[in-house]
Structure 1
Amino acid sequence: MHALQFSGQSSSNGILERDFTLGDVPGVLWSPATRSGERAPLVLMAHGGGNHKKHPAMSGRAKLLVTGCGFHVAVLDAPGHGDRPRTAHDEAEIAEMFRARAAGEPEGPVIVRYNAHLAERAVPEYQAALDALQQLAEIGTEGPVGFWGLNMGTAIGVPLVAAEPRVTAAVFGQHWPDVLTQKARQITVPIEFDMQWDDEHIPREAGLALFDAFASKEKTLHANSGKHKELPRFEADSAVRFFARHLARPNASLS
């Protein structure tokens, strides 16, 4: 297993931001700037397609979780994204997506196929990152872990949560069911699921089918009017309340 290597850090508004690498995979860890002497829950996040670990959506959600709940938040650059080079396969799939878009053809089949390929690479990377992050004294191996990822983040997160018993609550949404349905049926932890009722890319029936596939006894559907990129900002606040409800608990003192 690769060791976690911190490569830089900064602190602002009560948040400590630490860049790290795990092997050749870059990531970022946001934590409370002031150590309380107690361990705190960890939320893993995955960014959307075409974005990166420090995209405003990631840093904004991390700020809410750190300042509002005192949690730690970690994000990895997905394969072919952020500071990671693209392979020839990445370039070919991205070119095909843009070709379909220019021709007025549905992009979904290309995105689903490409995201499944990325997930095969990203899931073991997230598991290795979780192993390494839990070795930090301020996180530890006994604390609860959550996962938050929409769009491509859901494509990575569903197979990750299905395979990873350490994740005990998750927020997903805005993805086609297709290759995710079987994995969703293996997930029983509490779920909050976001979808856009007027999504121009993901048919309403497709979003509902993925939500329905989760085997969780507690799962909540948040359907908002609007197109794919019009997910209301208040859904981030709802997700933070969801994680606070399911992850927050008395923390063990650091030894």
Structure 2
Amino acid sequence: MRFNPRTSSDGVTEQLFTLDEIPGVLWTPEDAAGPRPLILMGHGGGQHKKAPGIVARAHHFVAESGFAVAAIDAPNHGERPKGEEFARIVTEMRGRAAAGEDATALVLAMHSLLAGQAVAEWQAVLTVLQQLDHVGAGPVGYWGMSMGCGLGVPFVAAEPRVGAAVLGLLGATTLAETAARITVPVQFLLQWDDELVPRAEGLALFDAFASAEKTLHANPGKHGDLPRFEIDSSLRFFARHLG
């Protein structure tokens, strides 16, 4: 893992890194020492590791609870090269959206294309981050909405080091069988008027999780209208389960 120089503001240190060809960023408390809970954040489709929402949540988690937070550019996103199949799917998806047609099948095809690579990359990044003195092999959580959920569900299902997850803004199609392998505590966020994810599909994904402890947070509004207070709710959830 190659690190860029650290920068700090308001008590939070940010450090960009690259593991092989995976660009990422790590946020920790300024002058952090010793192990601490680590939250991995998956960004949405078309976004990147330093999307405004990711940065805001990361700073809040670090400043309020002393967590470490990491994000990486998903395959074909951010600083990473775009493959031909990914470009084809995105072009067709945009064309259907512009024509007012349903592009759900293409969105799911994109998630399926990226998921296998993304799971292996998150596992590799997690292994190296936990070797850092100021992160350590402490408890791990995962946060991801929309595409971050589409790639996060298979990751959480495959990775025993993840002890709790905040997921949401996605439906059960293609994910129900994988979600049934998740048994860690889950907090699931759903937008009641989501124009991209049918309500019944979101509820079906929540139902599919095999977790003994799972909580559904349903808020009015469309796909992009997730309330800011859910940041605090996610932080309380991770603090309760990760310490």
Return the TM-score normalized by structure 2: 0.98
Please name the residue that 2:90 is paired with: 94
Unaligned segments of structure 1, at least 5 residues: 249-255
CA offsets 1:202-243 (integer angstroms, 9 cap, x no match): 111000000000000100000011111111111111001101
Question: Does the CA-based 8 Å contact 1:47-1:150 persist in structure 2?
Answer: yes
Q: Does 1:22 align with 2:1?
A: no
Correspondence for 1:219 among 208, 214, 221: 214
2:47 is paired with a residue of what secondary structure?
Answer: coil
Deviation at 1:38, TM superposition (A): 2.9
User: What's 1:252 paired with?
Assistant: none
Report how many aligned residue pairs link the two structures.
Answer: 243
How far apart, in 2, do the equivalents of 1:90 and 1:70 lie? 37
What is aligned with 2:6?
Answer: 9
Q: Distance in 1 between matches of 2:122 and 2:59?
A: 21
Mapped to 2, the partners of 1:245 and 1:61 lie a distance apart of 17
Counterpart of 2:9, as a letter, is S
Give the match's secondary structure for 2:4: strand
Indicate the percent of aligned positions where both proteins have the same amino acid.
53
Structure 1 residue corresponding to 2:45, chosen from 43, 46, 49: 49
- Partner Cα separation in structure 1 for residue 196 and residue 119 of structure 2: 25
TM-score (norm 1): 0.94
8 Å contact from structure 2 (residues 171, 203) kept in 1: no
One-letter code of the match for 1:77?
A: D
Displaced runs of 4 or more, over 2 A: none
Q: 1:188 touches 1:216 (CA, 8 Å); kept in 2?
A: yes
Q: 2:76 aligns with which of 59, 75, 80?
A: 80
> Where does residue 133 of structure 1 map in the other structure?
129
For 1:180, the equivalent position in structure 2 comes to 175
RMSD, aligned CA:
0.8
Shift of 1:178: 1.1
Q: Gaps (5+ residues) in structure 2? A: none
